Amino acid sequence: MNQTKMVGLARLAYSHQIPARLSQAVYASTSLLLCQSHKLTTNQIQSVSPFRSGEVRPSSFLIDLAIYLPLMFMIREFYFSSVSFIINGLFWSLATLAFATWRMKARGISWSDVGLRKPKKIKTTIAATLAILGMAIGFMIVFQVLIDQLKPGLAPDTSNDTAVNKFGNLKNNWLLFLSIVPAIWLESCMEEMLDRGFLINWIERIFSGGLFATVLAVILQAMIFGFRHSNDLSERSITVGLIGLAMGIGYVACGRNLWPLIIAHCILNTMSMVDRVV
pLDDT in 10s for each residue of the chain, 278 residues: 544 444 444 444 444 444 444 444 433 443 344 334 444 343 433 333 333 434 789 999 999 999 999 999 999 999 999 999 999 999 999 999 999 999 999 999 999 999 999 999 999 999 999 999 999 999 999 999 999 999 888 998 888 778 888 888 899 999 999 999 999 999 999 999 999 999 999 999 999 889 999 999 999 999 999 999 988 899 999 999 999 999 999 999 999 999 999 999 999 999 999 999 99
128 and 182 share one domain: yes
Do 239 and 253 belong to one domain? yes
101, 208: one domain: yes
Do 72 and 40 lie in one domain? The reply is: no
Of 55, 78, 98, the residue that ends a domain is: 55
Task: Give the end of a domain, one of 36, 55, 74.
Answer: 55
Residues 26 and 151 in one domain: no
Do 164 and 27 have their domain in common?
no
For residues 48 and 80, membership in a common domain is answered with no
Model confidence, pTM? 0.79
For residues 40 and 69, membership in a common domain is answered with no
Q: Are 134 and 234 found together in one domain?
A: yes
**Do 133 and 256 share a domain, yes or no?**
yes
| Short-list 185, 183, 152, CA closest to 262 | 185
Domain region containing 236:
57-277
Q: Are residues 196 and 267 in the same domain?
A: yes
Q: What's the number of domains the chain is made of? A: 2
Q: Are residues 263 and 188 in the same domain?
A: yes
Question: Angle at which helices 235-253 and 199-206 pack, to 10 degrees?
Answer: 80
Q: Are 64 and 103 in contact (CB under 8 A)?
A: yes
